[in-house]
Chain A
Amino acid sequence: MTESLADMVELRIPPDPKYIAVVRLTVAGVASRAGMSVDDVDDLKVAVCETYTNVIDHAFEGVRPRPVMIRMTATDRELQIEVIDEGVGFDTEAKDYGKEADLSREGGLGLYLVHQYMDEVRIESAPGSGTRVIMKKRLAG
């Protein structure tokens, strides 16, 4: 049996909109290196940038911003991306975040796109404990 070899790339980055393009370029590079199709690379860029933008907008309300960790782990089957912040966290049970598209307000689509573009999305968070979003996209073929 052939064992999967995991390649891991970590990006530690300030929660600042000026770095969104850096996140997008890094994700595109890692995903392309992992063998993702052009279309899947485009999907990943949106999903990860939406998640990172959510961190910028919400994770550090009322507290001092801390660096965000974006960890990309590629195997021969999938690419897993974790976006980890040490912000204020939230109660994941309080609402079905991103499961439905909310067109009634101008900022209600980010997490919905993440769910649509990724094969698997899991959010681990609690008030005061930061947030970890784990996303997976399978390699086609």
Chain B
Amino acid sequence: MDLELIDGWLQSVAVGGELDAYTAPRLLEAVAGALDAGHEWLLVDLSDVQYIDSVGLGILIGGAKRAAERNGDLSVACSRPNVRRVFDVSGTAELLNVVDTVDEAVAILSKARAAQGGREQ
């Protein structure tokens, strides 16, 4: 798990490998940890994830709800087709702001923050 604070306001968490009921607690730890630390803008980088299922989706949905409650938001970066397909098929791609690259996720969250009166980076 890699953590990076981008431009002082956007917390990036990168998780790799396979995310199922046995391994997804890594993702929960990363997302909940960032929220608990006071970061309401989250970029979840799943570029190195080879597998995800509803357990991982549930964690991300929960993270997005908690971020929204604090007037923040969450965006997921992933380009691997089988992982992307899980978001598309489940109907969560829009809710979780799923995009192909980290740069696109940064742009989405910057725009959302600016729309809330924050300063676009």
Cβ-based interface call for B33 (8 A): no
Q: Hey, which chain A residues are within 8 Å of B91, CB to CB?
A: 101, 103
Interface code B1-30, partner A: CB below 8 Å = 1, 0 otherwise? 000000000000000001011110000000
Query: Which residues of A18-72 are within 8 A (CB) of B?
Result: 18, 20-21, 24, 39, 42-43, 45-46, 49-50, 53, 56-57
Interface code B48-87, partner A: CB below 8 Å = 1, 0 otherwise? 0001011101110110000000000000000001100110
Cβ-based interface call for B95 (8 A): yes
Which among A20, A39, A107 is the interface contact of B20 at CB below 8 angstroms?
A20
Cβ-based interface call for B92 (8 A): yes
Which among B51, B61, B89 is the interface contact of A106 at CB below 8 angstroms?
B61
- Give the distance in Å from the alpha carbon of A18 to the alpha carbon of B25 in the complex: 12
Which size class do B's interface residues fall under? 20 to 34
Nearest B residue to A106, CB-CB: B58
B20 to chain A, nearest CB (A): 5
Q: Hey, which chain B residues are within 8 Å of A117, CB to CB?
A: 89
Q: Hey, which chain A residues are within 8 Å of B58, CB to CB?
A: 106-109
Q: Hey, which chain B residues are within 8 Å of A101, CB to CB?
A: 90-91
Binding site for B on A (CB under 8 A): 17-18, 20-21, 24, 39, 42-43, 45-46, 49-50, 53, 56-57, 101, 103, 106-110, 112-113, 116-117
Q: Closest 3 interchain pairs by CB?
A: A106-B58, A17-B22, A42-B82
**Can you show 22 pairs from A to B with CB atoms below 8 A apart?**
A20-B20, A21-B18, A21-B20, A24-B20, A39-B81, A39-B82, A42-B82, A43-B85, A45-B51, A46-B86, A50-B53, A53-B21, A53-B54, A101-B90, A101-B91, A103-B91, A106-B58, A109-B90, A110-B55, A112-B54, A116-B89, A116-B90
